[in-house]
Chain A
Amino acid sequence: MTNATAIGAPMKSITTKALVVVVIAAVFALAIALGGRVIAQQIVSGLMLGAIYLTVAVAFTLTIGVLNFLNFTIPSLFMLTGMIAWGLREKGLLGFAGGWAWLVALIAGVVVATAASLVVERFTFRYLKTRHGDATEHAIPLVSSLGFLLIFEHLVILTLGSESQRFSVPFKADIHLFGLVIGAPQLVSLGCALLVVAALTFVLKHTRMGRALRTIAENPEIASLLGVEVTRVVPVLFLLTGLLCGLAAALFTVNYGDVSPFMGDHVGSKAIAAMVLGGIGSIWGAILGGLVVGLTETLSIHFFGGDSVEMIIWGLLLIVIIVRPRGLFGAVAVGKGKL
């Protein structure tokens, strides 16, 4: 690489990214112009749904960006938050919290999901990876995380049943703005999700922890020889994964009021689509991908009915992969220098 391209590359990628955002915004602006208030309402709902997807997509992209493996436990961490929260209320364990039981339940759910994520780190990543080394580098964490997904799901089914359940919150605050109905919890979700992701970006860029994570993404062996304590830094990544999934699940539960042992599968698959769409290993790509998937979902339901959603989202993904294999925001070398 010459000096000229090294300096020129970021400029070029910024303009490309800006162009992508402008094009997408223009498409939806056009939709609003043509479709009026009904479409505008769908777009608002789509953005809110997208906020959930993007939070989970960031969890996926962070693990892939740093450790180069697809963490399959993410959907089950999402599910654990919702089901634990419901279970605690259902079993009457939160009587002490009174009117705030829903909040205490959700916080407990997030704590359990985060703890579960740390267990996964201990037993998929650290133990198995250090034992089996490079030959099985990506397969071992991937397969064992898939194992944890099934174990967590079935633990929940065994203890709390396989039914879908209602999780009600004692408020219903809709904001009416320009004739559009915006759920207050939905607005809070979007704000929370973006705030968390912005904080995460800051940590990655400006702190020693962030630098350690980016170094591990580039070369874990050399990072470790240089004194980056991989065994101390990697758990932080899993902690963040648990928190992101827990937060997304808490917002999802408050917004939609439904929990089930399979709630993570749906959101997880959409989040993976969002991540690939945005560019694997790119945080801003995951954000954009999440919003696009959310919007595509609500608009597909509006125009073609609920059964069309999966086909349209995955069809869109395949087209993007063919036209731009690295995703909308992805760089050329997957997993390196992305975060």
Chain B
Amino acid sequence: MSADAMLKVEAVNKSFGGVKVVQDVSFSVARGGRTALIGPNGAGKTTMFNLISGVIGMDSGAITLDEARIDHLPARKRIGVGLSRSFQNIRLMPHLSVVENILLGQHSRIGGLGELFAPIGWISSAPARAEAMRRLSEAGVDVDPDAPVAGLPYGTRKRIEVVRALMSQPRLLILDEPAAGLNPRETADLSTFLKSATADGLTLLVVEHDMAFVHGLCDHTVVLNFGRLIYDGPTAGVRDDAAVREAYLGARAATVGGAGRAA
């Protein structure tokens, strides 16, 4: 499987003030596959996401994208090498219109100054705008493209953010809890959309809480617990894995016990 791995995380360590949040974690994300990164609260999955997206730096280890090291690139340069992300709390520009927000995803593809000053907002047939509109309708978002995003429902904004991430034409799309805050229907729609968006070979990595969503979407799952890798295999096998069951049940028992002592 490592032969066609797109993203490789190798022996990564990260501590915050002496607390080891990620310990010696290695896994890979298969090219063209949909991989989930899950774990109980405090497992280090958000830290792992931040290490991959580059928002924080790691203490040791290596992260490679198509065999090229990306761990030394600052976060803002990672979109340029084909790594596009969404945010756990939606980070759209509230005063910009829907289509402008989506076109933002395309900024990493801008070449020269000429492109920066081309009046694309004025020409409704501009290819970039056409691409934005096409992706918007593929995502099943039916809103006025020129309305500001601020007033739109949460689920719609969440999907617009994914569309924006797709506009950079990434090799690898990483999503930070895409289903968080969505109702079951919106979650199902998002899952369908992500399947179709990755149908042409786009590689996907999601960090997620919602197990049903992960089961429906991802073929491969990586589980972290207390900063360590405890499972790396097919999603179908997650529920039957002894270590995973213990992590989830054990974590819950520990939380309950802790709360009991505090009270």
Contacts from A to B (Cβ < 8 Å): 1-3, 5-7, 202-203, 205-212, 214-215, 218-219, 222-230, 236, 336-337
Contact present for B121 and A206 (CB under 8 Å) = yes
Contact present for A208 and B110 (CB under 8 Å) = yes
Q: Is B245 close to A, CB under 8 A?
A: no
Residues in chain B near residue A211, CB distance under 8 A: 96, 100, 103-104, 121
**B79 partner, pick from A203, A210, A225, beta carbons under 8 A:** A225
State the Cβ distance, A9 to closest chain B Cβ, in Å: 9
Q: Whose C-beta in chain B lies nearest to the C-beta of A214? A: B96
Docked Cα-Cα span, A303 to B54, in Å, equals 64
Contact present for B80 and A227 (CB under 8 Å) = yes
Interface stretch, picked from B7-15, B65-73, B87-95, B185-193, is B87-95
Number of residues of chain B lying within 8 A (CB) of chain A = 36
Docked Cα-Cα span, A230 to B164, in Å, equals 18
Task: Write the B119-160 contact mask toward A (1 if CB under 8 angstroms, else 0).
Answer: 111100000000000000000000000011011100000000
Residues in chain B near residue A228, CB distance under 8 A: 104, 107
State the Cβ distance, B250 to closest chain A Cβ, in Å: 36
**A227 partner, pick from B55, B76, B96, beta carbons under 8 A:** B76
Q: Is B64 close to A, CB under 8 A?
A: no
Q: Is B209 close to A, CB under 8 A?
A: no
Contact present for A6 and B107 (CB under 8 Å) = no
Known: A214-B96, A218-B95. A3 touches B119 (CB 8 A): no
Contact present for B119 and A206 (CB under 8 Å) = yes
State the Cβ distance, B3 to closest chain A Cβ, in Å: 30
Q: Whose C-beta in chain A lies nearest to the C-beta of B55? A: A225
Residues in chain B near residue A203, CB distance under 8 A: 117
Q: Is B171 close to A, CB under 8 A?
A: no
Return the 9 tightest CB-CB contacts between A and B, nearest first. Answer: A337-B95, A227-B108, A6-B151, A206-B121, A227-B79, A206-B122, A209-B116, A224-B76, A218-B93
Residues in chain A near residue B164, CB distance under 8 A: 226
State the Cβ distance, B48 to closest chain A Cβ, in Å: 17
Contact present for A215 and B104 (CB under 8 Å) = yes
- Interchain residue pairs with CB less than 8 A apart (24): A3-B152, A5-B151, A202-B119, A202-B122, A206-B122, A207-B116, A211-B96, A211-B121, A212-B116, A214-B93, A214-B95, A215-B96, A215-B104, A222-B91, A224-B75, A225-B53, A225-B76, A225-B85, A226-B168, A227-B80, A227-B168, A229-B107, A230-B76, A236-B116
**How many A-B Cβ pairs are below 8 Å?**
95
Interface centre among B94, B116, B118, B168 (most CB of A within 10 A): B116
Given A206-B122, A222-B87, A227-B109, 4 more A-B residue pairs with CB atoms under 8 Å apart are A6-B148, A226-B108, A227-B105, A227-B107
State the Cβ distance, A237 to closest chain B Cβ, in Å: 12
Contact present for A207 and B76 (CB under 8 Å) = no
State the Cβ distance, A286 to closest chain B Cβ, in Å: 18
State the Cβ distance, A13 to closest chain B Cβ, in Å: 13
Interface centre among A6, A203, A223, A225 (most CB of B within 10 A): A225
Contact present for B91 and A207 (CB under 8 Å) = no
Contact present for B151 and A3 (CB under 8 Å) = yes
Docked Cα-Cα span, A209 to B117, in Å, equals 6
State the Cβ distance, A314 to closest chain B Cβ, in Å: 31
Contact present for A205 and B121 (CB under 8 Å) = yes
State the Cβ distance, A222 to closest chain B Cβ, in Å: 5
State the Cβ distance, A281 to closest chain B Cβ, in Å: 11
Docked Cα-Cα span, A218 to B104, in Å, equals 13
Interface centre among B87, B104, B119, B120 (most CB of A within 10 A): B104
Q: Whose C-beta in chain A lies nearest to the C-beta of B164? A: A226
Contact present for B79 and A1 (CB under 8 Å) = no
Contact present for B117 and A1 (CB under 8 Å) = no
Residues in chain A near residue B104, CB distance under 8 A: 211, 215, 223, 226, 228
State the Cβ distance, B127 to closest chain A Cβ, in Å: 13
**A215 partner, pick from B55, B93, B115, B118, beta carbons under 8 A:** B93
Residues in chain A near residue B93, CB distance under 8 A: 214-215, 218-219, 222
Residues in chain A near residue B150, CB distance under 8 A: 1, 6
Contact present for A336 and B80 (CB under 8 Å) = no
**B75 partner, pick from A202, A219, A225, beta carbons under 8 A:** A225
Contact present for B76 and A218 (CB under 8 Å) = no
State the Cβ distance, B53 to closest chain A Cβ, in Å: 8
Q: Whose C-beta in chain B lies nearest to the C-beta of A226? A: B104
Docked Cα-Cα span, A165 to B220, in Å, equals 77
State the Cβ distance, A179 to closest chain B Cβ, in Å: 42
State the Cβ distance, B130 to closest chain A Cβ, in Å: 15
Docked Cα-Cα span, A272 to B76, in Å, equals 34
Contact present for B117 and A226 (CB under 8 Å) = no
Docked Cα-Cα span, A325 to B85, in Å, equals 39
Docked Cα-Cα span, A2 to B80, in Å, equals 36
Known: A214-B96, A226-B164, A337-B94. A207 touches B121 (CB 8 A): yes
Docked Cα-Cα span, A88 to B87, in Å, equals 55
